Chains A and B, each alone.
Chain A
Amino acid sequence: MTSITIPISEETIRSLKVGDAVSITGTLFTGRDAVHKFLHDGGKLPPGVSFQDGIIYHCGPVVIKDEQGRWKVTAAGPTTSIREEPYQGAIIGEFGLRGVIGKGGMGDKTLAACQEHGCVYFHAVGGAAQVLAESIKAVRNVYFLREFGSPEAIWELEIENFPAVVTMDAHGNSLHKEIFAASQAALAKHL
């Protein structure tokens, strides 16, 4: 298990390989469909938000306000990343992301952007909302809540020992591609 701390240096990111299990600590931002489309269409990040050397997490958390009026994340697993494939590569390049957390992996455009800019794809365990919520220590802020609604908003989260696996690295390798090819070949034998 490799420990990763945000902000992440390019060197650290390039040292990671497909299949590495990591544990991530630091502050990250959630973003899913609405955010990606918005940024890709030329939208600006709100003041105080920077993705430079950071991570975007494809996640629409369940967040409630506790009795004292503080935000509390009660469930926070990853959502399917491939929906952001049309936008992700450009966003990695433009905003300086070092990591994307999600599930299901992404396509060639993102893989190429990872290699070019020094970024990796971290696969979290899909659906493991409670385990992952436990590694979220605090909600620092929320942006675009009114515009996009709760699951689609940008949540600024402080995480500690968030477990994930590198499934796309900065050297052009993708575990998803490998497994797809191997399983396709295995299936051919069964038909």
Chain B
Amino acid sequence: MQNLHASLLELIRRTSAEIPDDVQKAILDSLEREKKGTIAESALKIIERNIDLAKQKSQPICQDTGSIIFYVDCPVGFDQITFEETARGAVREATKKGFLRQNSVDSLTGLNDGTNVGPGSPTVHFHQHRSAELNVRLILKGGGCENVGAQYSLPNEKLKADRDLKGCRKVILDAVLQAQGKGCGPGILGVCIGGDRATGYEFSKQQFLRMLEDRNPNLELDQLEQDILQTANELGIGPMGFGGKTTLLGVKICAANRLPASFFVSVSYMCWAYRRQGVSLKPDGVIARWLY
């Protein structure tokens, strides 16, 4: 497990210090669009410089190194227990090395033991597939943006949102409005229409594994994604909520079955410091290739 440990450590380091190419490109594009000389432009310039500096110095892009969420696609018969133990060890070491901040607190005592390892941290989601490949993806999701996530139960009288796609659109845009200034925009939305209260959020977060520029294979959802992206960027909220043209960098939506009695729309918000990486591992645990 020596190799696996080293590979996971490198995955954590790189996820924390290097923004994925698709996200960096989207940020640079938005910098082009903002009016010169505005505080929106200067905020994006600072963000751009920050991305470069973090990579150069191999240091966290943002000091909130977030919830540590692994998504593992593994072959049938894979030893999940050993993987999880190794992942916990890698998290401990990454924290010692400063790739991760001491960021995990006992909810009852308020104590932070400085290891980032404890109940629920890190989280590992396993998914078996009928392939010999072992793919490990990692998302570091900060607290500021997690706090502005929202779950709506439709119908929502206040927002006049019914149980249809129009209603979904209304509540998703409401989430954008409410998140302004708080989740370190420009942001990216992951949305799940349907599911229950737990799976709704769960699936909404999994949307962050998608590439920013991909398109939804479901035509209706694709239209909704494009529409919300465009509309949100016409609201004038801008980077950091300073005002400006770039409120969102992307919108990703999925749908899950629901019970007849419930209709949830779960919105997860990712900040510009969109830390997601992944590796495909050889059977001996060595990194074969990077996934983003």
For residue A131, which residues in chain B have a CB less than 8 angstroms away from its CB?
46, 49-50, 53
B115 to chain A, nearest CB (A): 11
Tell whether A40 is near chain B: CB-to-CB under 8 Å: no
Dominant secondary structure of chain B at its interface with chain A: loop
Tell whether B155 is near chain A: CB-to-CB under 8 Å: no
Tell whether B177 is near chain A: CB-to-CB under 8 Å: yes
A164 vs B8: C-alpha distance when bound (angstroms) = 36
Chain A interface, number of residues (Cβ within 8 angstroms): 46
Shortest Cβ distance from A167 into B: residue: B242
Give the contacting residue for A165; candidates B144, B234, B242; CB below 8 A.
B242
Tell whether A49 is near chain B: CB-to-CB under 8 Å: no
Per-residue interface assignment for chain B, residues 151 to 173, with 1 indicating a CB less than 8 Å from any chain A CB and 0 otherwise: 00000000000000000001001
A186 vs B59: C-alpha distance when bound (angstroms) = 39
**Contact present for A80 and B102 (CB under 8 Å):** no
**Contact present for A163 and B46 (CB under 8 Å):** yes
Tell whether A88 is near chain B: CB-to-CB under 8 Å: no
Our count of residue pairs bridging A and B at CB distance below 8 angstroms stands at 154
For residue B110, which residues in chain A have a CB less than 8 angstroms away from its CB?
34
Tell whether A183 is near chain B: CB-to-CB under 8 Å: yes
Give the contacting residue for A182; candidates B39, B105, B236; CB below 8 A.
B236
**Contact present for B98 and A64 (CB under 8 Å):** yes
Tell whether B20 is near chain A: CB-to-CB under 8 Å: no
Chain B interface, number of residues (Cβ within 8 angstroms): 51
Given contacts A62-B60, A62-B101, A180-B181, 20 further A-B contacts (CB under 8 A): A60-B101, A61-B63, A62-B65, A77-B62, A80-B147, A82-B182, A103-B144, A104-B241, A105-B181, A127-B50, A127-B184, A129-B50, A129-B63, A130-B53, A130-B59, A149-B105, A151-B102, A165-B242, A183-B235, A190-B173
What are 24 A-B pairs with beta-carbon distances under 8 A? A60-B101, A62-B63, A62-B65, A62-B101, A80-B147, A104-B144, A125-B47, A130-B57, A131-B49, A131-B50, A149-B111, A150-B101, A151-B63, A151-B103, A165-B39, A165-B42, A165-B43, A179-B180, A179-B237, A179-B241, A179-B242, A179-B243, A180-B177, A187-B173
Residues of A within 8 A of B (CB): 19, 21, 34, 59-62, 64, 74-77, 79-80, 82, 103-105, 123, 125-131, 133-134, 149-152, 163, 165, 167, 175-176, 179-180, 182-184, 186-187, 190-191
